[in-house]
Structure 1
Amino acid sequence: MTDEDLSNILEILSDEHSRKILQETMKRPMSAEELSDVCDISPQSVYRRTDKLSSYDLLDAEMEYDEDGHHFQMYTADPTQVVIGISEENTDMTISKRERMADRFSEFISQVRDK
């Protein structure tokens, strides 16, 4: 990870609204409109933050369609652990996501079928 990436991620995570977006989308998938209500910020602010979070794989976006054919993004975050290591030589960050139980179960079934 570059120093620039490290700085950008730290900046993103220092923002209380970005952290709130991550926490809320760990509970259930949410649209930008729902996040705007829950976080008490404008939809434009939600989109700015979700774009940054998504660019570092901290947030997943999936296209959804309503009955009228309109489309919108649904955002989901997996529980994530960010570990920062600082030594005399360098600074490093490790980001690890804990997979959801349903995803792990699906992967297990796929592996069993392949054998």
Structure 2
Amino acid sequence: MSEVCDETEVLELLEDQYARAIILATSRSPMSASELTDAIDASPPTVYRRVDDLQRCGLLAERTEFVEGGRNYSVYAARVERVSVDFTDGELTVTLTERDDVPTDETVAERFTRLYEGLR
């Protein structure tokens, strides 16, 4: 669970149709905000707001795609594979299972290596 979002916030976010659509779309392959706008039929401001919320709660990873000529852009990938909700002894517990195939926070060195390899 994210240190910023509690269980209730995660559930409220997943209740939102656009947030769910972003998670579903990015669980198939990383997508840019522009691609998400088309894929989920939402306005760019709506996509960016939901992307920010999903990242804040640890449900979405961001990676910079480096393009020759300097027009770099971000792509987003779902970090979560499963969300479990448990009601035990009067307590609500939300457990997030992260995907193994989504890189999280790259270091500067890793980013540089990816950029360099992309230029070869």
TM-score > 0.5, shorter chain as reference: yes
Q: CA separation in 2, counterparts of 1:96 and 1:49? A: 20
Q: How many residues align?
A: 101
How far off is 1:48 after superposition? Answer: 0.5
Q: CA separation in 1, counterparts of 2:90 and 2:14? A: 24
Q: CA separation in 2, counterparts of 1:52 and 1:62? A: 16
Aligned-partner residue type, residue 24 of structure 1: A
Q: Rg bigger for which structure? A: 1
Aligned-partner residue type, residue 17 of structure 1: Y
Q: CA separation in 2, counterparts of 1:45 and 1:71? A: 22
How far off is 1:79 after superposition? Answer: 5.0
TM-score normalised by L of structure 2:
0.74
How far off is 1:46 after superposition? Answer: 0.6
Kept in 2, the 8 Å contact 1:21–1:35? The answer is yes
RMSD between aligned residues: 2.2
Do residues 50 (structure 1) and 35 (structure 2) align? no
Q: CA separation in 1, counterparts of 2:99 and 2:70? A: 33
Q: Which residue of 2 aligns with 1:86?
A: 87
Percent same amino acid among aligned pairs? 35
How far off is 1:56 after superposition? Answer: 1.5
4+ residue runs over 4 A deviation: none
Kept in 2, the 8 Å contact 1:36–1:43? The answer is yes
How far off is 1:98 after superposition? Answer: 3.0
Q: CA separation in 2, counterparts of 1:60 and 1:42? A: 20
TM-score normalised by L of structure 1:
0.77
Which blocks of at least 5 consecutive residues in structure 2 are unaligned?
Answer: 104-120
Q: CA separation in 1, counterparts of 2:29 and 2:90? A: 40
Q: CA separation in 2, counterparts of 1:39 and 1:73? A: 17
Kept in 2, the 8 Å contact 1:12–1:53? The answer is yes
Q: Which residue of 1 aligns with 2:31?
A: 30
Q: Which residue of 2 aligns with 1:106?
A: none
